Amino acid sequence: MDPIITPPVHPDPQTMNRRHITDYAHGITAIDAGYERPGLVAIHLIFERGRAAIVDTGTMHSVDGVMAVLATKDIAPHDVDYVILTHVHLDHAGGAGALMQRLPQARAVVHPRGARHLSDPTQLLAGVTAVYGAHETMRRFGQIVPVPTERIIEAPDGLRLDLHGRELLFLDTPGHARHHICMFDRASSAFFTGDTFGLSYREFDTDRGEFVFPTTTPVQFDPLALHASIDRLIGMNPIQMFLTHYGRVGNPGRLAGDLHESIDAFTALALQAAGSGPDRHRLIREGLQQLLLERLARHGCRLDRARVLELMEMDIELNTQGLEVWLDHRRTH
Ligand SMILES: [Zn+2]
């Protein structure tokens, strides 16, 4: 199903205007990747006087939708210069190879540690298949098409690229993954943060603004590195952030404070459960659930508990698994 032109099945004022594409200032658009549910994974498009860049790609299933949006905006396939991948987790970069087959001029931009996984996704795919199984991996991500090495630009910390006169600056931002980059776009004073600046679903917006929480998914969550990366982003004084999950958030300073607090609360909770043997997973999971429900209530969120948990179920499970990996890693080092 085409995620872009399919009308909402159950129109919901919280999401209906944001299901497919959201246009922002400075030529920035969020395209819904159509991954799992609307409003979960955003593919960002940056347009600068005839040239374009795409930040994160969703999966192979997202490619037709992206091409359809480019067409409606009169952006030809050869007008796209860059496919920027914040990191190579498959909800962000799984569709990169398939998308680039349709964009003849585009080069992929990725952390030096991520580059080999783009040109040879075997190891990445094996890891994901071990978690989800072959059938579910195919359903979620489709085929993973390799990106030819000569079409990859490795982005070390401080790299600057030019999008038709618009400077794009890349920072090395570990914490969620060791191969994570964030991109600063000076024209919009915005960072494109992948997963480094957490997750913020538009359904949780209230009159107090956005609600954000960190992602600690397996297998490279590193709280100290994540704290430092968030501080580095804020050190550039951005006025807004574009998150893959999902879209634009303002007020980065307040949100950074919330993220720092939540990272500490998550790790404290994991440490508390560390000695609980077979109950550990359940205790961390229930603790995260409780913590997030309390924080959302304080934020003024009026969604009922069932809806909140429906929106967060997958993140709570993945965050639990990631915290467990972090605990085990600490124990053996
Ligand atoms: Zn992600």
- CA of 198 from ligand 1 middle (Å) equals 9
Q: What is the pLDDT of residues 209-222, one digit of tens each?
A: 999 999 999 989 99
Residue the block writes with tokens 């077979």: 278
Range 250-267 average pLDDT: 98
Range 239-266 average pLDDT: 98
Angle, CA 212 vertex, CA 211 and CA 216 arms, to 5°: 150
pLDDT recorded at residue 132? 86
Residue 40: CB partners within 8 Å, gap ≥ 6? 33, 201, 245, 246
| Pair 182, 55: CB distance under 8 Å | no
Q: Which stretches within 133-222 are classed as H helix? A: 134-141
pLDDT recorded at residue 54? 98
- CA of 1 from ligand 1 middle (Å) equals 22
Q: Does residue 283 form part of some domain?
A: no
Q: Does residue 318 form part of some domain?
A: no
Compute the distance between CA of residue 124 and CA of residue 154 in angstroms, rounded to an integer. 18
Q: Does residue 284 form part of some domain?
A: no
CA proximity to 269, closest of 314, 319, 313: 319
Residue the block writes with tokens 């038709």: 164
By residue range, what is the domain housing residue 121?
A: 16-251
For the chain, what is the mean pLDDT? Answer: 93
- CA of 213 from ligand 1 middle (Å) equals 12
Residue the block writes with tokens 């396939």: 77
Largest CA-CA distance found in the chain, in angstroms, rounded: 58
pLDDT recorded at residue 10? 36
Q: What is the pLDDT of residues 167-209, one digit of tens each?
A: 999 999 999 999 999 999 999 999 999 999 999 999 999 999 9
- CA of 243 from ligand 1 middle (Å) equals 9
Range 66-76 average pLDDT: 96
Of 16-25, 125-134, 166-175, where does the model show the most confidence?
166-175
pLDDT recorded at residue 86? 98
The percentage of the chain sitting over the pLDDT mark of 90, rounded to a whole number, equals 90
pLDDT recorded at residue 288? 98
Range 125-144 average pLDDT: 91
Q: How many domains does the chain have?
A: 1
- CA of 77 from ligand 1 middle (Å) equals 26
Residue 2 pLDDT exceeds 80: no
Q: What is the pLDDT of residues 31-55, one digit of tens each?
A: 999 999 999 999 999 999 999 999 9
Compute the distance between CA of residue 274 and CA of residue 263 in angstroms, rounded to an integer. 16
Compute the distance between CA of residue 311 and CA of residue 318 in angstroms, rounded to an integer. 13
Is 54 strand, coil or helix?
strand
- CA of 301 from ligand 1 middle (Å) equals 23
Look at the pTM and tell me if it is higher than 0.75: yes
- CA of 229 from ligand 1 middle (Å) equals 16
- CA of 226 from ligand 1 middle (Å) equals 14
Q: Does residue 222 form part of some domain?
A: yes
Q: Does residue 114 form part of some domain?
A: yes
Q: Does residue 301 form part of some domain?
A: no
- CA of 217 from ligand 1 middle (Å) equals 9
- The H or E element spanning position 77 is none
Using 50, 70 and 90 to split pLDDT, how confident is the model at 130? confident
- CA of 91 from ligand 1 middle (Å) equals 6
Residue 13 pLDDT exceeds 60: no
pLDDT recorded at residue 131? 81
Using 50, 70 and 90 to split pLDDT, how confident is the model at 253? very high
Strands 42-48 and 28-32, bridge-based pairing: antiparallel
CATH number at residue 195: 3.60.15.10
- CA of 142 from ligand 1 middle (Å) equals 17
Compute the distance between CA of residue 249 and CA of residue 44 in angstroms, rounded to an integer. 13
Please list all protein residues whose beta carbon sits less than 5 angstroms from ligand 1, which is an ion. 195
Q: Does residue 98 form part of some domain?
A: yes
Q: Does residue 294 form part of some domain?
A: no
